[in-house]
Chain A
Amino acid sequence: MSHHRVEVTDLAFSYPDGPPALDGVSFLVTHGESVALVGANGAGKSTLLMHLNGVLTPTSGVVRIGDVPVTKKTLPDIRKTVGMIFQDADDQLFMPTVYEDVAFGPMNLGLPPQDVETRVRAALEQVGALELRDRPPYRLSGGEKRAVAIATVLSMNPSMLVMDEPSSNLDPRARRRLIELLRSFEHTKIIATHDLDLALDLCERTIVMNAGRIIADGPTLQIFKDEGLLLAGGLEQPMSMQRCPSCGGMR
């Protein structure tokens, strides 16, 4: 049985005060895949992500992680398997110091103190933030916060990473570093993003959402070449695929 598989079938969800946020979403992500989830603001990306580890409960439809359906009973296992990285690192870093924040997940898993220590070290080393361990989160830069937020999830040894806008608010160098970091992970990845260049760099497959539905699902390059499709999804081609503004040629 592989934990690294996500199957979403006919998922529908409405917030109490609005029209359906998800309207019959289905897809399958298999072991080791990197999938970009793109679409305009309000297309339903974040809502979809929150169903993947059971933070939201669908109105109808099923989410399966591996062979396990996401239900109240399976939540502890699901949350161990699916590492969720939130859009605003300030929401993710709520403990007094970086160390305690990264240790939060492993402590809740009930690991013995030595194992917690090993995991925290390993996770912080992996994101290159070991020297930040005793700092309070509100004293970190945006890039550092993002790195630590990723470490807080890695320390739980998830099989899968689910990320919401990982490159937002980062300066170009921090963004580049993040891309390299994410590339080094072998986890199954689902990344919701407006940064189509990042999608092009990291994900071989892209899902385009619009108004709570999937309007396209296929190889990233192929989807990004279809300008009409991108336009329909409220997007535009990534910079690296647009014609050079000064000479009109392709890069």
Chain B
Amino acid sequence: MSRIEAGLYQLGRLDRLAAQDTSVHRLDPRAKVVTTLVFLGCVVSFGKYQVLPLLPFMIFPIVLATDGRVPLGYLARKLLYVAPFALVIGMFNPVLDRAALAEIDGIAISGGWVSFISILLRFALTTSAALVLIGTTSFNGVCMALERLGAPDVFATQLLLLYRYIFVLGEEAASMTRARAVRSFGGRGMGLHVYASMLGHLLFRTYDRANRVYRSMLSRGFDGQIRIARPLRLGGRDVIFTLAWSTIFVLFRVFNVPLLLGQAVTKVIA
């Protein structure tokens, strides 16, 4: 299997997870989207040297993944895939920012290392929350929710079509790659200019495809707005879900829970 096909298969896996039927899946997509947005807002708004107060936020993706039967191992693997991005963003912090921030047993911890860890932690939290959201709501569910929540039509339509045609485009790319591989010998034919011409072909094919899709949409009365048939109903459960989690996030944001816990424990011991 080529890497492209493997990638498509992975995307398909997320789709199959989203097709399960659990209490989390049954929640209204809007409830999950809003809750996740509050979560992201709280996590991202911490200062750059804060690590400890981020830790309690881990319960959200973990609880949701467990209840929604999204395997934690799968999440962890996905995180590793994207981790290089976060690593690149943070990797110079320890080098550039050497001011000691704390000292543990005589070893000075520089601000750079703390902010590096903070970046990694935030990356893990936000990415896993997004993955769990899609894995329990489906990509299309998220698009639908965004549209109902007032995101511009064009935005929702773009996302819907993007997700639909990523599979078609992926298959075309995979078959081109295969066609190149069977006629390339000993690395000859695999060079950059062949690659460039393949990309060009793909671009033109995409353009043609887009034209044909648009024609078929016009043929069925498309007028610029995609109307989605599935009705959404916001029930009491959804409201409670959103309010309860959001309250927890705000509390985590305002109070440094691990610190308070630590102080409480020390007080009891003393």
Interface residues, chain A, CB within 8 Å of chain B?
Answer: 50, 53, 55, 76, 79-80, 83-84, 86, 88, 90-92, 94-97, 99-100, 103-105, 107-109, 113, 116-117, 120, 136-139, 152-153, 156
Residue from B168, B213, B218, B231 within 8 A of A79 (CB atoms): B218
When C-beta atoms are compared, the residue in chain B nearest to A89 turns out to be B216
Residue from B138, B218, B222, B229 within 8 A of A99 (CB atoms): B229
B220 CB within 8 Å of chain A:
yes
Given A95-B164, A96-B163, A138-B164, CB of A55 within 8 Å of CB of B215 = yes
A55-B229 Cα distance, complex, nearest whole Å: 25
Residue from B163, B167, B219 within 8 A of A84 (CB atoms): B219
Given A95-B160, A138-B167, CB of A107 within 8 Å of CB of B218 = no
- Whether B229 pairs with A100 at a CB distance below 8 angstroms is yes
- Whether B221 pairs with A94 at a CB distance below 8 angstroms is no
- Whether B161 pairs with A108 at a CB distance below 8 angstroms is no
Interface size class of B (residues with CB under 8 A): 20 to 34
Besides A79-B218, A94-B213, 5 new A-B residue pairs in contact (Cβ under 8 A), listed by A number = A95-B160, A97-B140, A100-B230, A107-B228, A116-B229
- Whether B164 pairs with A96 at a CB distance below 8 angstroms is yes
- Whether B230 pairs with A84 at a CB distance below 8 angstroms is no
- Whether B15 pairs with A92 at a CB distance below 8 angstroms is no
- Whether B220 pairs with A88 at a CB distance below 8 angstroms is no
Chain A proximity of B203: nearest CB distance (Å): 17
Given A55-B218, A79-B220, A91-B209, CB of A107 within 8 Å of CB of B227 = yes
Residue from B220, B222, B231 within 8 A of A152 (CB atoms): B220
A-B contact pairs, 7 of them (CB 8 A): A55-B218, A84-B216, A91-B212, A94-B165, A100-B229, A116-B229, A117-B229
Residues on the B chain within 8 Å of A156, using CB: 220-221
B87 CB within 8 Å of chain A:
no
When C-beta atoms are compared, the residue in chain B nearest to A156 turns out to be B220
Residues on the A chain within 8 Å of B240, using CB: none
A137-B213 Cα distance, complex, nearest whole Å: 14
Residues on the B chain within 8 Å of A95, using CB: 160, 164, 226
Chain A proximity of B159: nearest CB distance (Å): 10
Residue from B160, B164, B209, B227 within 8 A of A137 (CB atoms): B164
Interface residues, chain B, CB within 8 Å of chain A?
Answer: 12, 15, 138, 140, 160-161, 163-165, 167-168, 209, 212-213, 215-223, 226-231
Residues on the B chain within 8 Å of A107, using CB: 227-229
- Whether A113 pairs with B216 at a CB distance below 8 angstroms is no
When C-beta atoms are compared, the residue in chain A nearest to B164 turns out to be A94
- Whether B164 pairs with A113 at a CB distance below 8 angstroms is no
Given A96-B160, A99-B229, A107-B227, CB of A91 within 8 Å of CB of B216 = yes
Given A92-B216, A95-B160, CB of A80 within 8 Å of CB of B229 = no
Chain B proximity of A120: nearest CB distance (Å): 8
- Whether A153 pairs with B229 at a CB distance below 8 angstroms is no
- Whether A108 pairs with B227 at a CB distance below 8 angstroms is yes
Chain A proximity of B175: nearest CB distance (Å): 13
A139-B140 Cα distance, complex, nearest whole Å: 15
3 closest pairs, A vs B, by CB? A108-B221, A96-B140, A105-B220
Chain A proximity of B37: nearest CB distance (Å): 22
Given A55-B215, A96-B160, CB of A108 within 8 Å of CB of B222 = yes
- Whether B219 pairs with A91 at a CB distance below 8 angstroms is no
Residues on the B chain within 8 Å of A55, using CB: 215, 218-219
A137-B221 Cα distance, complex, nearest whole Å: 20
A152-B15 Cα distance, complex, nearest whole Å: 23
Residues on the A chain within 8 Å of B140, using CB: 96-97
A212-B196 Cα distance, complex, nearest whole Å: 36
Residues on the A chain within 8 Å of B212, using CB: 86, 88, 91
Residues on the B chain within 8 Å of A53, using CB: 219
A18-B264 Cα distance, complex, nearest whole Å: 82
Chain B proximity of A47: nearest CB distance (Å): 12
Residues on the A chain within 8 Å of B229, using CB: 99-100, 103, 107, 113, 116-117, 120
Residues on the A chain within 8 Å of B138, using CB: 96
A76-B217 Cα distance, complex, nearest whole Å: 12
- Whether A136 pairs with B15 at a CB distance below 8 angstroms is yes
A156-B231 Cα distance, complex, nearest whole Å: 20
A55-B214 Cα distance, complex, nearest whole Å: 10
A84-B217 Cα distance, complex, nearest whole Å: 10
Residues on the A chain within 8 Å of B226, using CB: 95, 104
- Whether A100 pairs with B228 at a CB distance below 8 angstroms is yes
A116-B163 Cα distance, complex, nearest whole Å: 25
